[in-house]
Structure 1
Amino acid sequence: MVFNYLTVLHIVVLLAVSLRIFSRRTAHGTALAWLLLVILLPAVGVLMYLLIGERRLGRTWMERAIALQPQILRWAQDIPVSALADPGELNTGAESVSRLATGSVGLPLMGGHSLQLLADSSVSMRTLIADIDAAGSSVHLEFYIWNPGGFVDDLVAALIRAAQRGIPCSTLMDSLGSRPFFKSEAIDRLREAGVTIVEILPVNPLRALLVRLDLRDHRKIAVIDRRIAYTGSMNIADPRFFKQDAGVGEWVDAMVRIEGPAAWVLEAVSLSLTALQTGSDFAPPPPPDMAPAGNSQVQIFPSGPQSSTRHIEQLLLAAIYAAKREIVLTTPYFVPSETLLVALRSAAIRGVRVILIVPEKIDSLLVRYASNAYVEDLLAVGITIQRFGAGLLHTKSMVVDEEFTIFGTVNLDLRSFELNFEVSMITYDREFSIATRDMQRRYESKSQPLQLERWRARPKWRCLTENAVQVLSPLL
């Protein structure tokens, strides 16, 4: 009798979860993964679905997001003509990427930029601190992780100095990613100095059934005087001290320093998230008067879970299909969607050289297994996979034909596509693309390529484990 009751309960629960999944038009792979989990582990599956099964930002956030979207589009339409560039002057592939980017998020192609690739975390931090010390009107930061110690203490001191000399300073910190920092004395020193701190997506266990707690602000943005900006993969964390007990070595990151109108566009992107969190008005200051800083053409591409469309995935697909000769990608986490996997394989089959550079060791065992499940499919069509052995390669970059580059915070996984607030810079600049490609070659020099026959000879239990985890990869 007890068995019958449990069976009926299992069926009822499965039907209820199934109806909920189908009513949300969940992606095919994700829906199957959830159904499989609920069938095999009913109690665990239902609990996990309640916690992380849907992209719940909360009613207040979504109401603000709906109200904010037309405001952002109106703001973008008022970007001065002097800052705009004509996508029709790009080559055919780059033009299609640019037009898709504008159509997806409303931010246009802009000219007049100077770009500097910073391929070392300590150099990036020293350069950022120097710009903060030279700030004359404002400092605005937004980073996923703040972790005290090392050069982060120097950055805190620079922010305090700027605030004490009357420069308005503000920073956005993700509540989960920066949790240790919120418990440190550095946060009190910043507040006492007058630095405005906005805690993004506060973590509260009591809200877990109402708001999905693993939707995070993964962006890395710094804007100084609305003329200089930084973005890329580096968190506010000194790699000499950050996660040294994880057994993956130091994190390896890269940033780009931008001078030009993209600086105040990045600030506006960050201020939109401030408005979502606090309910304040979205009212970026008017663009500053500034002469062109250089000849580089740049497009800013924000993405986030407030949209039901995976805009960043569409952008990456357009870039892959635009390639004629070579695509080189770096990412710490590679758990692709089926469409991305098909695009990469298709590029290799039509003769494009595809190189994927990933770290040999990463800080997630499940992601490692899921990522390994795709290796044979990629190697079989001639894609080169390089395993970086000098730390956790955290740089996120895609260089296409050494003609244009997508650079920023996006990993090649569904978490970045669906669950995180991310930001990317698309630069249609051959010089910057060559510099980024040279950086990628340095990564390759510290990597070992995977060989198809040796990969196929790995133990069967590993293959079974990887495939089993890969089935659940949409949930990772």
Structure 2
Amino acid sequence: MDFSLLSLMHVIVLLAVSIRIFSRRSSHGTALAWLLLIVLIPAVGVLMYLLIGERRLGRLWMRRAIDLQPQILNWARRIPAANVVGPGRLTTGAESVSRLAMGSVGLPPMGGHRLQLMADSESSMRALIADIDAARVSVHLEFYIWRTGGFVDDLVAALVSAAQRGVTCCALMDSLGSRPFFRSQAFEGLRHAGVKVIEVLPVNPLRALFIRFDLRDHRKIAVIDRRIAYTGSMNIADPRFFKQDAGVGEWVDAMVRIEGPAAWVLEAVSLSLTALQTGANFAPPPPPEMPAAGDSDVQIFPSGPQASTRHIEQLLLAAIYAARREIVLTTPYFVPGETLLTALRSAALRGVHVILIVPEKVDSLLVRYASNAYNDDLLAVGITILHFQGGLLHTKSMVVDDEMTIFGTVNLDLRSFELNFEVSLIAYDRTFSAETRNLQRQYESRSRPVQLAQWRARPKWRRLLENAVQVMSPLL
């Protein structure tokens, strides 16, 4: 083929993809990163954009999502008034966050809860197994990763036993995150016992041509008898065995055990994804009659790639701008967009004490470099950055002024904001916030502070590499 013809085709392809990028109204950073990649490495860039450049859930999923949204909002409007927190009960800052959450996803703040912070994977899993063993009606689980070994085998045995005694059991598993589990004897044991297993967002080469394969179900939800629920950062994986060859140590997680009406709301959130995946009707059972389990006020906040707006990022921004004294965040992956970075810097500049706790090592080298590129901007305005030394800190938490906590599955990166199905618990509760803050202090005691002078003295080649990866961070 003539060289000039190849050059012409090259220009046409680049122009076509560029026009496509501009037509999608992506964020400035994302569009710039894609254009840079396509110009520098045309063949690789174009292929990557076709595979993962747009949030393609597929026509069937999007049609279901469009049909489902009014059903969910109609269901949320019928939540009994007795469970809804009345106006004036929350502080001014919490009220603004609650109103934004309500306006974004339609779920109101609810009262009558007992919250129990589970500070590690072992205690979380043992409590969950005990609740499954005591289940009388239903067990509903939704987790990103399932891996056999250790206490997971005990969980599988508890599910099998529950199903055999007549408890309705259902488990949603992400197709990519739980891929090895689908080939295990444990998976076959669940199916044989009558546990309904739903593979969410199946992955195969043919589907990748039409549906973006890295849109994942990152939620962690467990609901027992519609009265008890769990959410947080823990996957169904024993940290003593999970990813031990990654060189980051054991994963460190936390969960919250919830008693109260938020349990059946979390089940409904999970059932909405079941409806998206299977095409089944979204028809959660009526709320069960139950006395108040405690006096904690909470709000459930789901998010996902079917929405055109980054709802969870808006929620985090509202919480940051509502802070008056202190914001403490823990996250394994910190690759923020410009709006979140600006909000954190603005908080520090107006005198709010901001502490960011991240692991010293993460299981992605690119994410590690991209995250480090923000250190100078944060340290320069007085934000405290702590590198956790005790493994891969996987807990996702934000405590604001010791009175409000956002706790759940969301990382502080664009993947969680745009590409993953996530869920967060907003706790308007001083006691739970104090417990979470104490857990964060335990993380602080096992962390090393990053000093601005020492950070700026790092080798120039490393600074160049970090900045180069940071430019591409919208694609991570």
TM-score range, shorter chain: over 0.9
The percent identity for this pair of structures is 80
The aligned counterpart of 1:97 is: 97
Structure-1 separation of matches of 2:462 and 2:149: 38
Q: Distance in 2 between matches of 1:409 and 1:5?
A: 50
Which residue is 2:354 aligned to?
Answer: 354
Equivalence map 1:116-155=2 (5 Å): 116-155=116-155
Q: Deviations over 1:324-347 (max 9, x none)?
A: 000000000000010000000000
Query: In structure 2, do the counterparts of structure 1 residues 278 and 452 end up closer, same or farther at CA, with 3 Å as the change threshold?
Result: same
Please give the alpha-carbon distance, in whole angstroms, between the structure 1 residues aligned to 2:123 and 2:91.
33
- Secondary structure of 2:216's aligned partner: coil
Match of 1:29 in 2: 29
* In the alignment, structure 1 residue 273 sits paired with structure 2 residue 273: yes
Cross-structure match for 2:402? 402
The answer to whether residue 297 in structure 2 is matched with residue 297 in structure 1 is yes
Provide Cα deviations, 1:70-100, integer angstroms capped at 9, x if missing partner.
0000000000111110243211111000000
- Identify the residue that residue 459 of structure 1 maps to in structure 2: 459
SS in 1 for 2:257: strand
* Corresponding residue for residue 40 of structure 2: 40
Report deviation, 1:14: 1.5
Q: CA RMSD in A?
A: 0.8
What corresponds to 2:69 in structure 1?
69
SS of the residue corresponding to residue 139 of structure 1 reads: strand
| Residue 249 (structure 1) aligns with | 249
Structure-1 separation of matches of 2:135 and 2:208:
40
Q: Distance in 2 between matches of 1:155 and 1:281?
A: 29
CA deviations on 1:36-88 (whole Å, 9 max, x unpaired) are: 00000000000000000000000000000000000000000000111110243
Q: Distance in 1 between matches of 2:413 and 2:434?
A: 25
1:196 is matched by which residue type in structure 2?
Answer: K
TM-score (norm. length: structure 1): 0.99
What does residue 284 of structure 1 align with?
Answer: 284
Q: Judge conservation of contact 1:33–1:474 (CA < 8 Å) in 2.
A: yes
Name the SS for the 1:421 alignment partner.
strand
Equivalent residue, structure 1, for 2:194: 194
SS in 2 for 1:245: coil
Q: Hey, what's the Cα distance between the residues in 1 that align with 2:293 and 2:443?
A: 30
- C-alpha offsets along residues 155-182 of structure 1, whole Å, 9 cap, x if unaligned? 0000001001100000100000000100
Looking at structure 2, the residues matched to 312 and 25 of structure 1 have their Cα atoms a distance apart, in angstroms, of: 19
Shift of 1:7: 2.9
CA–CA distance in 2 between the matches of 1:233 and 1:280? 28
CA drift at 1:349: 0.3
How many residue pairs are counted as aligned between the two chains? Answer: 476
- The answer (yes or no) to whether the contact 1:87–1:99 under 8 Å persists in 2 is no
- Map Cα deviations across residues 207-235 of structure 1 (whole Å, 9 max, x no partner): 11100000000000000000000000000
Matching residue of 1:168: 168
5+ residue gaps, structure 2, are none
Which residue of the partner structure matches residue 383 of structure 2?
Answer: 383
**Residue 468 in structure 1 maps to residue 468 in structure 2:** yes
SS of equivalent residue, structure 1 residue 199: strand
User: Who is 1:368 aligned against?
Assistant: 368
Q: Distance in 1 between matches of 2:46 and 2:98?
A: 42
In structure 2, what residue type is equivalent to 1:358? V
Match of 1:56 in 2: 56
Match of 2:128, SS? Answer: helix
- The residue that corresponds to 1:229 in the other structure is 229
Partner AA of 2:222 in structure 1: A
Conserved in 2, the CA contact under 8 Å of 1:87 and 1:109? Answer: no
The one-character-per-residue Cα deviations of 1:269-320 (angstroms, maximum 9, x if unpaired) are 0000000000000000000000000000000000000001000000000000
Deviation at residue 18 of structure 1 after TM alignment: 1.1
Q: Which residue of 2 aligns with 1:183?
A: 183
Q: Could you list the per-position Cα deviations for residues 343-390 of structure 1 after superposition, in whole angstroms to 9, with x for gaps in the alignment?
A: 000000000000000000000000001001100000000000000000
Q: Which amino acid aligns with 1:237?
A: A
- Structure 1: distance between partners of 2:6 and 2:377: 41
* Structure 1 residue identity aligned to 2:202: P
Residue 427, structure 1, aligned to residue 427, structure 2:
yes
My pick for the range that moved more, 86-95 or 156-165, is: 86-95
**Distance in 2 between residues matched to 1:228 and 1:451, nearest whole Å:** 43
Alpha-carbon distance between aligned partners in 2 of 1:290 and 1:33, rounded to the nearest angstrom: 51
Please, which runs of 5 or more residues in structure 1 have no aligned partner?
none
Whole-angstrom distance in 1 between the partners of 2:88 and 2:275: 34
State the shift of 1:10 in Å. 2.4
User: 2:83 maps to what in 1?
Assistant: 83
**Alpha-carbon separation, structure 2, partners of 1:10 and 1:462:** 33
CA distance in 1, matches of 2:145, 2:88: 39
State the Cα deviation string for residues 138-166 of structure 1 (Å, max 9, x = none): 00000000000000000000000100110
Q: 1-side partners of 2:86 and 2:465: how far apart?
A: 50
Aligned to 1:111: 111
- The Cα of 1:27 is off from its aligned counterpart by 1.1
Q: 1:11 Cα shift?
A: 1.7
d(CA) in 1 for partners of 2:87, 2:117: 23
Return the alpha-carbon distance in structure 1 between the equivalents of residues 86 and 377 of structure 2. Answer: 39
Q: Give the match for residue 329 of structure 1.
A: 329
Does the CA-based 8 Å contact 1:87-1:98 persist in structure 2?
no
Within 1, Cα distance between the matches of 2:40 and 2:121? Answer: 44
Q: How far apart are 1:22 and its partner, in Å? A: 1.2
For residues 379 and 28 of structure 2, the distance between their equivalents in structure 1, rounded to whole angstroms, comes to: 25
By how many angstroms is 1:2 displaced?
A: 4.5
Following the alignment from structure 1 to structure 2, what is the Cα–Cα distance between the partners of residues 331 and 51?
27
CA distance in 1, matches of 2:87, 2:328: 23
Match of 2:218?
218
Distance 1:142 1:51, change over 3 A: same
